[in-house]
Structure 1
């Protein structure tokens, strides 16, 4: 089969890694095609929080530097990493951020604490985020960008930015006015309401991808949807293009200078989960777009001799599931990343025992679930147990606070399947089949910790990251509140994920390596299609998207330099 068309660069996958690879390659003068198997573009990134972890970013007043970042990372990364690839990330991430900023994208610093606040040189200025984006600026592509999940909307309709999310999820002072403004903004947008129920206001990950694709399209990059990668095309040991399928039609597209795999991880492929993960979990508990990331890019790379790394871990996040509104036969996944650490609650395994600082970073919560499952066999799922005080104020995944979803409004088929309720801890334990004595002791301990403000078991609420998701009105520790007001509740918490940490092994130039650590000519990988530069560590908010965008940028620079007969920029130097 001969190629029907040719581009300088073919990018597989339309998430943040693919968007930046395409934008940078086009800016360097190359013709670019992005292929996306879904009928909407934006990938997992469009449904995310849209945060980038970029240390030493120079986008705000800061004394951060490379040495401080290495001091921090050196204390929190416990597994093997490729040091030259990590160095390349630290050197090129700030240049990538400047490039994005120079494109006119409003990228700025978010005051989000690094996830290990007790570690040396932890900070709260390494995460970046973009302002909201006006969706109709994408023109005909507006309805074709992947939409945010209901968990990032109010009533599945009104988009929230980060500050609105925190205001509403904690019922902070002024939260009612925040909601009224969102409501008014949506319903007075008459032009958009005539077109679609979708909010024209893109926030979080949707904002990031909206801004990126506005610039991508302005550069003349082509985007092809419903176009699935079947395999890589090779000639003489070099990757020369892709074979794709579109509604049953199979054809080839040639790539003069490189193919960049940015097709996400393999979290929706149960067979690959069983092959690689020590505790596989279920694909349906993933919080990424349903059935999207099935490892096609990974499998295509393996077929041409690529090596892999870090495939034994996911970007973990606790999740829970509830029936879809107005379609009770179908379930939707809700992230419970911050819910599990709110006061007046405790997370226990099926023995009724705690196993983690519940307010820790969501990836570490997941790691603790995995470790506890391997140790006891009584986790995945675990249980979030809480009382009426929690229920009144906080969300529990898809269960909204009582002011928005009183018990009488919870559908009858949810009770004792998705959410459990009882008038005593002992009765609740019986319902969820957890030893009553153990659960009662655990809750009693938590009540004593709430009184003293000190958690001697796991140190919950003892650092700035934990406290960010607590309740400032709860004293003396905002993360510890007594669990003593009936009725008592429990919801099952799944081992969910934001994708996989491992994938194809790539070098400091984002070139995919074979099993002898030799670059496979013409093949690059970025995002979750490649192994994380941090190994099994999640250093801070945006620890997935930051490297994804950076190595998309790095790949484009290397391809452009080779195509234009220039010496590629050394791994430790940033391209202008």
Structure 2
């Protein structure tokens, strides 16, 4: 045990030193290691006082606040965004949440959850991702996830859990408990005729919403029901945590209209500020491959690692910070903090298209990008490093498609994510990205290859003859109805043959990062030594429990499971003293 503590302490000191030199590069409101506020540095006056302070008003923050209020606590939620432009990952999502059937085997459900979270109960896995905490995390998941729909409908009886084909089963059928647990997931909707992912719900009346918008509207109803027990303070991001002489977290500093305010939390502070998708220094430090230009995300630009930095400043450890729910997606021309916004790209793997590397060669079955369970791990293929050339041959990759596909479907999701929330412009016929130059267009495959070669991100690596041969070989597989190279699903084998032809860049990316603060099953934030930091908690993407694999809808599910549990716990804590 002593050896483990020494190792963790040395790692903590190393990280502090490493980040100390890069803090100036952080394009975010909160600086890394902003400094721990000791008892001697406490504010002379608290501007606001409450029982529980929740930092961040997405799915995790809202759920935690609701249940804390239901259990008798007064709650202040500090939210970075203005009320009229509050767009969170929860809201922008597809609205999928897990809710296994209640007659499934509970032990099997616990086993399946543990396998997803950590995996040490899988016979072939080398080691667990978080073996110290996976069993208790899985127990809570097994206990609460089958009642997720009940909880949401208790907040608003008009809310509907819609059926979504492809999500209503365990994605990892070979995991322990997968068959016996009767896994299931729903898609959030108020509209009885559920909208598809190309139909926006943003700005729609509540009863006409589906996807993440419907999920969020339900949580909003739940917050409203608590009346004055919950106060949401807009445009006021938290920036620093305060400890008393006992080491207990007793409040936060926040920025409001250019000034610092101080908020006292008598029972606890819960960090629900999401991941670090738009924090340049953290992306460079933690993401695989080229962390800035080799990645894009299609969630909120508000996720800048604020809560992670605040936790680290008071001694929090980290866990699997480089994890992300990611595949390959199109990086758009819109930037925030110097980093490109991505867009969800469900067209990858469709008939009349292939994906090639920078040299013009296919490298995987394209359907793996959008199929379960591989779709949330495909980024691993995109960031592969060639140890001979010391380069990333698949960053970017290129989606090659023809006029048939271009006119048949939108390449990106129009109703959710960045397009559905007016952050990126894209039209159903894909003409806008062609006009802007994001998507390359040519009359022949040879000409298209030359345009890719002249693209600055290709760095003149494209070999036109390779691309011509690759398309010809793929078209031959389409005739034979069998992909001899990578085993792509036969139903998706449609030729790339009708000009003009197009190329769209693809990079690693997805909705969010998953790694962050070290936390136990009760979501208590822990030091590197595994000791709880008293009265500090975290829920959601800031410290996702899904450290090994990810099943679609997992992030919303953990908001509900651990938000409910944490809200109940913190409401019952005794008051701290200053």
Specify the TM-score bucket, using the shorter chain as the normaliser. 0.7 to 0.9
Greater Cα offset, 369-378 or 248-257: 369-378
Structure 2 residue 491 is the aligned partner of structure 1 residue 446: no
Structure 2 match to 1:488: 501
Structure 2 residue 540 is the aligned partner of structure 1 residue 535: no
* Distance in 1 separating the partners of 2:194 and 2:507: 24
SS in 1 for 2:438: coil
Contact 2:278 / 2:339 at 8 angstroms: preserved in 1? no
Task: Tell me which of 185, 198, 204 is aligned to 1:199.
Answer: 204
Structure 2 match to 1:425: 445
Contact 1:17 / 1:552 at 8 angstroms: preserved in 2? yes
Structure 2 match to 1:128: 186
* Distance in 1 separating the partners of 2:432 and 2:275: 35
Map residues 156-175 of structure 1 onto 2, 5 A cutoff.
163-165=195-197
Structure 2 residue 217 is the aligned partner of structure 1 residue 210: yes
- Deviation string 1:39-61 (CA, Å, 9 cap, x unpaired) is 1345221111121134x343xxx
Shift of 1:287: 1.2
Q: Residues 19 and 412 from structure 1, CA distance in 2 versus in 1: closer, same or farther, beyond 3 angstroms?
A: closer
* Distance in 2 separating the partners of 1:7 and 1:44: 27
Structure 2 match to 1:8: 51
SS in 2 for 1:442: helix
SS in 2 for 1:232: strand
Structure 2 match to 1:250: 260
* Distance in 2 separating the partners of 1:280 and 1:377: 8
Structure 1 match to 2:93: 48
- Deviation string 1:398-454 (CA, Å, 9 cap, x unpaired) is 899xxx7668x558752xx31112222222111101212222232233223323333
Contact 1:315 / 1:499 at 8 angstroms: preserved in 2? yes
Shift of 1:548: 2.4
Task: Tell me which of 106, 111, 134 is aligned to 1:70.
Answer: 111
Structure 2 match to 1:150: none
Contact 2:284 / 2:292 at 8 angstroms: preserved in 1? no
Shift of 1:563: 4.2
Q: Residues 323 and 512 from structure 1, CA distance in 2 versus in 1: closer, same or farther, beyond 3 angstroms?
A: closer
Give 5+ residue unaligned stretches, structure 1. 135-160, 169-178, 187-196, 462-476, 566-576
Structure 2 residue 359 is the aligned partner of structure 1 residue 351: yes
Q: Residues 205 and 275 from structure 1, CA distance in 2 versus in 1: closer, same or farther, beyond 3 angstroms?
A: same
Map residues 371-410 of structure 1 onto 2, 5 A cutoff.
371=384, 377-397=392-412, 410=432
Contact 2:106 / 2:142 at 8 angstroms: preserved in 1? no
Contact 1:321 / 1:397 at 8 angstroms: preserved in 2? no
Structure 2 match to 1:551: 562
Shift of 1:133: 7.1
- Deviation string 1:3-30 (CA, Å, 9 cap, x unpaired) is 2221111110001000100111111111
Contact 2:299 / 2:512 at 8 angstroms: preserved in 1? yes
* Distance in 2 separating the partners of 1:70 and 1:459: 31
* Distance in 1 separating the partners of 2:170 and 2:447: 36
SS in 2 for 1:517: coil
Structure 1 match to 2:237: 228
TM-score where L is the length of structure 2: 0.75
Structure 2 residue 92 is the aligned partner of structure 1 residue 80: no
SS in 2 for 1:267: coil
Contact 1:510 / 1:524 at 8 angstroms: preserved in 2? yes
* Distance in 2 separating the partners of 1:359 and 1:77: 25
Shift of 1:512: 0.6
SS in 2 for 1:371: coil
* Distance in 1 separating the partners of 2:525 and 2:195: 39
TM-score where L is the length of structure 1: 0.75
* Distance in 2 separating the partners of 1:318 and 1:244: 36
Greater Cα offset, 346-355 or 315-324: 315-324
Q: Residues 35 and 564 from structure 1, CA distance in 2 versus in 1: closer, same or farther, beyond 3 angstroms?
A: closer
* Distance in 2 separating the partners of 1:115 and 1:486: 40
Shift of 1:505: 0.9
Task: Tell me which of 479, 496, 518 is aligned to 1:505.
Answer: 518
* Distance in 2 separating the partners of 1:8 and 1:348: 55
Structure 1 match to 2:249: 239
Shift of 1:280: 4.1
Greater Cα offset, 494-503 or 103-112: 103-112
* Distance in 2 separating the partners of 1:131 and 1:405: 23
* Distance in 2 separating the partners of 1:391 and 1:99: 42
Contact 2:47 / 2:261 at 8 angstroms: preserved in 1? yes
CA RMSD of aligned residues (A): 3.3
* Distance in 2 separating the partners of 1:116 and 1:348: 27
- Deviation string 1:93-146 (CA, Å, 9 cap, x unpaired) is 234443233333524253333584664537995222222379xxxxxxxxxxxx
Q: Residues 523 and 95 from structure 1, CA distance in 2 versus in 1: closer, same or farther, beyond 3 angstroms?
A: farther
Structure 1 match to 2:423: none
Contact 1:425 / 1:488 at 8 angstroms: preserved in 2? yes
Q: Residues 406 and 28 from structure 1, CA distance in 2 versus in 1: closer, same or farther, beyond 3 angstroms?
A: closer
Contact 1:500 / 1:528 at 8 angstroms: preserved in 2? yes
